[in-house]
Structure 1
Amino acid sequence: MVERDQGLGRRALLGTGLGAGALLAGAGTAGRARAQGGQPAIRIGFLTDLSGPYKDITGETGAICARQAIADFGAAEKGMRVEVLVADHQHRPDVGIGIIREWFDRGDVDVILDVGNSAIGLAAGGLVTERNKIQLNTGAASSDLTGKSCNANTIHWPYDTWSNANSAAQSLLSSGGNRWFFVTADYAFGKAMQADATRIVEAGGGQVVGSAVHPFPGTTDFSSYLVQARARRANVVAFANAGADTLNCVKQAAEFGLARSGIRPAALVAFIQDIKALGLDVAQGLTISESFYWDLNDRTRAFTERLKPRLTNGGMPNMDHAAAYSSTLHYLKAVSELGVARAKADGRAVVATMKAMPTEDDCFGRGSVRADGRKIHPMYLFEAKKPSESTGPWDLLKLVGTTPADRAFRPLSEGGCSLVTN
């Protein structure tokens, strides 16, 4: 097995202003040269946020999880050579698509992983279809990836805007949260999250009383949006954003005393890193939807223990990181089934094999991949613990609800995916 991590080189090049394209041009030539001596290498392009607002919830830890999957699969023992390339899309679709194109044209990359930005993921769908490559999207959230924009070369892990909106909305509606105000990031993910949540809220008898769209990235002051929510007499203010934006929203909602005035803050996409950054004094009682938690069961704890020696920042994996592991492992099983030569030549055949095989790993247990490319598993609703309930630095969440796999994601009949036949 060959693992090639280019994160340090990327940072050095960005520091000199040369950018990701220069890095990848050199990488492609080196990778092909190594492959000439024997069986071609499987090449995974890990496209992620290494420097922006989502760097902690995707980023380097996701690449580490992909490498853990390669090790756990036993690629070297099976005679498979697997390389991992890492690059930063900077949340710019032109940069992200440029990197993917460079990887496909000059880097001999077979599959792109993570992506972590819905606009880039949606745009990449056309490119992977055209080149017959593969997109394993484990970091973006738009449900359109398996809806109207689905394709035979893309699979979507570990959650989407529909699954998270469904989990949060059902819980809040059942406890009286029926007047919603959205604070939404102005790009594909935020808009899809608001649209999915709106449909679920209205179907459940609730009402959307207003919304505010904020620029992404770069917004730090959300006070005017919170004032609007109070003025509209909302009893739920839902943050359809992620990362640093969600942190700022939750902090400022606490400063404004929204909870004391009867308005419940709801983070529609949040991660354990967000709870850690907020601290339990601020985050306690906040509900978040996740499909993975390191302390959920014996298997998730075993995975985390194996991963810890690779983690250098003292962090813990979240569902995006776990999905990088799960998707890489399942992809390698399909490659092994088809053979490396055929897998490199026919991305659609690999995806079809991944759909035909049940998924099985320590992060998500047993699952499947549907015809629309949606990876299926349970979704969980967690609540941030009170400080007095926590027994350690990462003992942050308690399980308050489970949505079974067959109800956790949007029904096939409602997505509008062209791959689905009745």
Structure 2
Amino acid sequence: MKFGLLSTAALCGLFLATSTLTPAAAQGVKIGILNDQSGVYADYGGKWSLEAARMAVEDFGGEVLGGKVELVTADHQNKPDLAAAIARRWYDVENVDMITELTTSSVALAVQELSAQAKKIDIVVGAATSRITGDACTPYGFHWSFDTRALGVGTGGALTETGGDTWFFLTADYAFGYSLEKDTGDIVKSKGGKVLGAVRHPLNSSDFSSFLLQAQASKAKVIGLANAGLDTTNAVKQAAEFGIVAGGQKLAGLLLTLAEVHGLGLNAAQGLVLTESFYWDRDDKSREFAERFFKRTQRMPNMIQAGTYSATLSYLKAVKAAGTKDSDAVVKKLKELPVDDAFAQGGKVQANGRLVKDLYLFEVKKPADSKKPWDYYKQLAVVPAASAFPLAKDSGCPLTK
């Protein structure tokens, strides 16, 4: 009798095991969009990034490997432990193949580490720390859109070269802020400038008065805002109340996007200098994509949303080219195929997972210079990919040693 029970159990186990071995060709893929949908970065990426990913799936055709492309999404609330728990459930229970967007650097680093353990691909778009393809790189991790070093080269380098040679930083007190302050400070010093000091504020601050008073008292020519989302917009609004710009100091939005400029309005944002990897009105490809996005959302995309479109589309192209969703095979294709879409033309993915492409230095227009809705930027310069991003071998990524 015991033998019979064991045989039945073994047969059931064999059936369950074989039933899970459905050929990948009949499975399609499942992609997770994990980001902040209710907090300080909800406009920066949020539900708008999910809409951009939907556009990528539709533009690709909705199917790959003989099955449908599915999207799942969740709000990580800027909590690394919550994000890791969601990612673990997605990988272990819901059979998610790739996770992207990943706003917030502490979240991105946590999910990237977990993804490497699970041998699953993650493509970071919304988080900024250069560690993602530096010392924290993994065989399955990618970084799209921008990073703290590229932003430092663009905004920090340009302002220092044009006379803004003393800096004081207002820094978000977590991994992203530290990285942005360090990378920009290094660029400023390499150009002959000086960093006079820094003050750190909690994420999602509502009162910047004490921090701004310290920045004002420093007499630095440039106050670098090493923060993002609502933290940046609140700091800019309160800086105006203190008369900081009127007093001769310049504000540098080190991670400022079209979404925050729109939230501020041109009266408050005019004159800000910033670096983005995408602007909707730059060329015909960006305008065509942006106009389709606008019809769905009633807003123009920023570099996070356009980058999520590109990351999703690039992943699907790599799966198709590999003929499988096996992560190792897809990683190989992601690093081989050029990235050529509305977000990036002629982009290349390095051995450390870093997408390299040109970025752009912009100044926010005065209200009188804006000729139509969402006409917010004047381009000052192109930041070449070769200047913005180090070679993989120089990035600190141990995979490239």
**TM-score normalised per structure 2:** 0.92
**Matched ranges for 1:133-152 at <5 A:** 133-152=120-139
Counterparts of 1:267 and 1:140 in 2: how far apart (Å)? 16
Tell me which amino acid in the other structure corresponds to 2:290.
T
Paired residues, number: 382
Deviations 1:271-324 (CA, angstroms, capped at 9, x unpaired): 11111111111111111100100101001001112323322xx21111000111
Question: Matched residues, percent identical?
Answer: 43
For residue 336 of structure 2, what is the aligned residue in structure 1? 356
Counterparts of 2:391 and 2:213 in 1: how far apart (Å)? 36
1:104/1:76 Cα in 2 relative to 1: closer, same or farther (>3 Å)? closer
Counterparts of 1:77 and 1:248 in 2: how far apart (Å)? 43
2:73 is equivalent to residue 100 of structure 1: no
For residue 246 of structure 1, what is the aligned residue in structure 2? 232
Secondary structure in 1 aligned to 2:62? coil
In structure 1, which of residues 88, 109, 113 is the aligned counterpart of residue 75 of structure 2? Answer: 88
Q: Is the 8 A contact 1:155 1:351 kept in 2?
A: no
Higher mean C-alpha displacement, 356-365 vs 241-250 = 356-365
Deviations 1:41-76 (CA, angstroms, capped at 9, x unpaired): 300011011100101111111111111111111234
**Matched ranges for 1:31-50 at <5 A:** 39-50=26-37
Q: Is the 8 A contact 2:35 2:103 kept in 1?
A: yes
In structure 1, which of residues 398, 402, 405 is the aligned counterpart of residue 378 of structure 2? Answer: 398
Counterparts of 2:181 and 2:219 in 1: how far apart (Å)? 19
Tell me which amino acid in the other structure corresponds to 1:230.
Q
Structure 1 segments unaligned to the other structure (5+ residues): 1-31
2:384 is equivalent to residue 420 of structure 1: no
For residue 221 of structure 1, what is the aligned residue in structure 2? 207
Counterparts of 1:261 and 1:308 in 2: how far apart (Å)? 38
Q: Is the 8 A contact 2:348 2:356 kept in 1?
A: yes
Structure 2 segments unaligned to the other structure (5+ residues): 1-18
Give the CA deviation at 1:412: 3.1
Secondary structure in 2 aligned to 1:359? coil
For residue 274 of structure 2, what is the aligned residue in structure 1? 288
Counterparts of 2:307 and 2:354 in 1: how far apart (Å)? 12
In structure 2, which of residues 43, 61, 70 is the aligned counterpart of residue 74 of structure 1? Answer: 61
Counterparts of 1:267 and 1:335 in 2: how far apart (Å)? 37
1:199/1:64 Cα in 2 relative to 1: closer, same or farther (>3 Å)? same
Q: Is the 8 A contact 1:75 1:82 kept in 2?
A: yes
**TM-score normalised per structure 1:** 0.87
For residue 244 of structure 2, what is the aligned residue in structure 1? 258
Tell me which amino acid in the other structure corresponds to 1:112.
I
Q: Is the 8 A contact 2:64 2:316 kept in 1?
A: no
Higher mean C-alpha displacement, 399-408 vs 47-56 = 399-408
Counterparts of 2:293 and 2:60 in 1: how far apart (Å)? 14
2:259 is equivalent to residue 279 of structure 1: no
Tell me which amino acid in the other structure corresponds to 2:331.
V
Deviations 1:227-276 (CA, angstroms, capped at 9, x unpaired): 11222221111010000100011111112111222211111000111111
Counterparts of 1:100 and 1:317 in 2: how far apart (Å)? 26
Give the CA deviation at 1:413: 4.0
For residue 111 of structure 1, what is the aligned residue in structure 2? 98
Q: Is the 8 A contact 1:163 1:410 kept in 2?
A: no
Counterparts of 1:261 and 1:50 in 2: how far apart (Å)? 37
1:77/1:212 Cα in 2 relative to 1: closer, same or farther (>3 Å)? closer
**Matched ranges for 1:24-63 at <5 A:** 39-63=26-50
For residue 170 of structure 1, what is the aligned residue in structure 2? 157
Give the CA deviation at 1:414: 3.3
Give the CA deviation at 1:38: 8.1
What is the root-mean-square deviation of aligned Cα atoms in Å? 1.8
Counterparts of 1:37 and 1:396 in 2: how far apart (Å)? 46
Tell me which amino acid in the other structure corresponds to 1:395.
D
Q: Is the 8 A contact 2:278 2:306 kept in 1?
A: yes
